[in-house]
Chains A and B, each alone.
Chain A
Amino acid sequence: MSPTQSDSIAFVRSEMLPQKPAPVSEAGAIRWLRENLFSSPLNTLLTLIGAYVVYWLVTHSLPWLSHSVWTAGSVSECRQIITDTWGADATGACWAVIRERWSQFIFGFYPWQMVWRPVLAFVLLLVAIAPVLFSALPRKMLTFSLIYPLLAIWLLWGGSAWTELVVLAGFVLGWATYVALSKGSTLIAVIAAVLVPILWWKFAAAPTTEVLQNVISLSIPKVSSSDFGGFLLAVTLGVGGIVMSLPLGIVLALGRQSDMFLVKSLSVGFIEFIRGVPLITLLFVASLLLNYFLPPGTNFDIILRVMILVTLFAAAYIAEVIRGGLAALPRGQYEAADALGLDYWKAQRLIILPQALKISIPGIVSTFIGMFKDTTLVVFVGLFDPLKGVPDFVRADFNWKGIYWEPFIFTGAIFFIFNFSMSRYSMYLERKLQRDHH
């Protein structure tokens, strides 16, 4: 400021200041280290403790990992090789068990000559979820995603393809009924669109399947649910549970927000009951009690039963996560939708849910990840999960008695790949849906 200006408070800027580059000290590795690792005595202490923990972990696991044995017929053979190669005190990992038994970890007891079926189902699963996950892919691919569940059921369990095709016909019938009646009352159209397929499945499906099967046989060998195991079981339950629990969770969340007393109390009751009971209890219900309630002679598949209860369990949690998202939306969004004349369902579908679900993504994905890991609890109802069921079976073989770490690490690594992918995808989705940047 010039001396003449300083004696008066009046000031007029004659030119606006241009932007200048930031000082060099704003960047650089040393600055990063100083700020993030050594900014204060406490931070320095924590850094040193952290460094020691990392050092300890590496020095204790590295020898074990580096002394890996990949080819051996039994645990004792592994130990022999380790002792011969690295000395008497050496410890080492015996991956030979994975090399010999990996197929059981992945497929359980699925007949080996038919293993191409779950493999194909898994590859097609990736094709089916791709358009759901990535909006850049052509929307026509979603048609395949819709058919995929029935295709996967046929591939995994086998039997006559007519069963699945007749089920599919039920959905087509329902859709056709709705289209035919939707010109008139929507309510009647919806009720008819639900009733017609149910009647079709209940009365017409079985005879139709039989007739069609006699005309052209579309059968592949059946595989029993008891042959499922390992990751085939975990992924089947996990994907089935995820696919079914999200829509159910949305319905429950909307039900809990509803103005209608009955809808609201039923939703609240369901959510609180399911959340209040441990998953294992529900799995026992699936395996033991459910048969008492069903008509005698009904053979309700164990995987289907477990999948339904896992779905209900996850849906209750997802409903609460979504309720959080719904509550986070400003009232004005509902009012603007109302003021424009959108009815309840259109407002929910176009305005409310897209935003509420976006807010809920981290919570929903956390629930999915938790549910996928919880599928290992099916070991308690006699199914061979990849974490305990299959390893216990492997250890029952005298050759592999006493091998713990390697199966755990192998199974853990595969779970990590699945769950880390889900986590990364959710972060990608959040970034993609972010709208408030400039």
Chain B
Amino acid sequence: MAEPHFQREIDRSHMMVSDEVAIQISQMNKWYGTFHVLREIDLTVNRGERIVIAGPSGSGKSTLIRCINRLEEHQSGQIIVDGTELTSDLKNIDKVRSEVGMVFQHFNLFPHLTILENLTLAPIWVRKTPKKEADETAMYFLEKVKIPEQAQKYPGQLSGGQQQRVAIARSLCMKPRIMLFDEPTSALDPEMIKEVLDTMIELAEEGMTMLCVTHEMGFAQAVANRVIFMDQGQIVEQNNPHDFFNNPQSDRTKMFLSQILGH
């Protein structure tokens, strides 16, 4: 069992799971062509939950969180985010997307814009925030992710870890109520993984509702209140991190954990 490598004490005072439902997924199915990629997904996420989704590649975990902000379309079942059901209605989709922040494996910063412009673009054009106010918010979040001095640079001039922190700040500038992380550290050099995880931990400490697809089991143990294990498009097992890691029930989970932690 690998020990989580976070030195500092995690402040759990604001990590509270409320009774309010943030995301409600029921009987959801998705196909890529004829391939049944997500099968009968039922998942309820309460506000304040920090969920880590793990599983082998191709298990559908990225597709699942990409369905939550409609980057992928589901074909049957229901997804309700913050009381808005995702249908083909564009208004609902835009509403959900402005409430849900997303961080990608490859950062997906806009390379032709400065860091500051990356952060203020959506607030100005989607939220109609005045530029001055958007700039102030952007600088606030850049300071939070500890790179305010990079504001005038372009993404190509930053390291991978810095870029991912900018990407997190970019999502936060839209003041989302839910954050989705799609393998945020998988494209990073080992030295830079920690700085990104630290940022994510701070976010969790503030009570953000988070869904993270990640292989960082240390992060799962330290921060998550629930770990979901997926395989072949299905939720195979979910539990609190302590029981999930120390007492996995299904054979598939046991095998996965032994492969990912057993060296």
Contacts and interface: CB of A to CB of B under 8 A. Distances in A.
Interface of A: 330, 332-333, 335-336, 338-343, 346, 350-351, 354-355, 358, 433, 435-438
B102 interface: yes
Secondary structure of the A contact surface, majority rule: helix
Interface string B59-83: 0000000000111000000000000
The 5 closest A-B pairs by CB, nearest first: A336-B108, A332-B108, A340-B122, A436-B156, A341-B98
B35 interface: no
B125 A338 contact: no
A435 B156 contact: yes
Contact of B125 (A346, A354, A355): A346
A332 B125 contact: no
A339 B174 CA distance: 11
Given A333-B108, A336-B110, A341-B94, 20 more contacts: A330-B108, A332-B107, A332-B108, A333-B110, A336-B102, A336-B104, A336-B109, A339-B71, A339-B101, A340-B97, A340-B171, A340-B174, A342-B125, A351-B121, A355-B110, A355-B112, A358-B112, A435-B111, A435-B155, A437-B157
Contacts of B100: 339
Contacts of B30: none
A226 to B, nearest CB: 47
Nearest to A433: B112
B177 interface: no
Contacts of A350: 121, 125
A332 B164 CA distance: 14
A343 B126 CA distance: 8
Contacts of A346: 125-126
Contacts of A339: 69, 71, 97, 100-102, 104, 171
A336 B171 CA distance: 10
A351 B97 contact: no
A435 B154 contact: yes
Contacts of B112: 354-355, 358, 433, 435
B39 interface: no
B187 to A, nearest CB: 11
Contacts, number: 72
A343 B121 CA distance: 13
Given A341-B94, A438-B157, A330 B125 contact: no
A341 B174 contact: yes
Interface residues of B, number: 29
A77 B72 CA distance: 80
B170 interface: yes
27 contacts: A330-B108, A332-B106, A332-B107, A335-B104, A336-B102, A336-B108, A338-B70, A338-B71, A338-B97, A339-B71, A339-B100, A339-B171, A340-B98, A340-B121, A340-B122, A340-B170, A341-B122, A342-B126, A343-B90, A343-B94, A351-B110, A351-B121, A354-B112, A358-B112, A433-B112, A435-B155, A436-B111
A437 B171 CA distance: 25
A335 B111 contact: no
Nearest to B110: A351
A138 to B, nearest CB: 19
Contact of B106 (A330, A338, A351, A436): A330
Interface string B29-63: 00000000000000000000000000000000000
A71 B108 CA distance: 66
A437 B111 CA distance: 11
Contacts of B111: 355, 435-436
A436 B70 CA distance: 31
Contacts of A338: 69-71, 97
B110 A341 contact: no
Contacts of B69: 338-339
Interface string B101-132: 11010111111100000000110011000000
Contacts of B98: 340-341
A43 B16 CA distance: 74
A338 B73 CA distance: 13
Contacts of A438: 156-157
A375 to B, nearest CB: 33
Contacts of B171: 339-340
Nearest to B114: A435
A335 B108 contact: yes
Nearest to A438: B157
Contacts of A435: 111-112, 154-156
A298 B110 CA distance: 50
Contacts of A355: 110-112
Nearest to A343: B94
A433 to B, nearest CB: 7
B247 to A, nearest CB: 36
B126 A340 contact: yes
Nearest to B96: A341
A258 to B, nearest CB: 15
Contacts of B154: 435-436
B41 to A, nearest CB: 20
Contacts of B104: 332, 335-336, 339
A341 B121 contact: no
A347 to B, nearest CB: 9
Nearest to B90: A343
The interface centre, meaning the residue of A340, A342, A354 with most chain B CB atoms within 10 A of its CB, is A340
The interface centre, meaning the residue of A330, A338, A355, A358 with most chain B CB atoms within 10 A of its CB, is A338
A435 B112 CA distance: 6
A341 B171 CA distance: 11
Contacts of A335: 71, 104, 108
A79 B136 CA distance: 77
B116 to A, nearest CB: 14
Contacts of B121: 340, 342, 350-351
Nearest to B121: A350
Contacts of B155: 435
A437 B157 CA distance: 7
B36 to A, nearest CB: 23
B45 to A, nearest CB: 18
B178 to A, nearest CB: 12
A49 to B, nearest CB: 43
Interface string B140-174: 00000000000000111100000000000011001
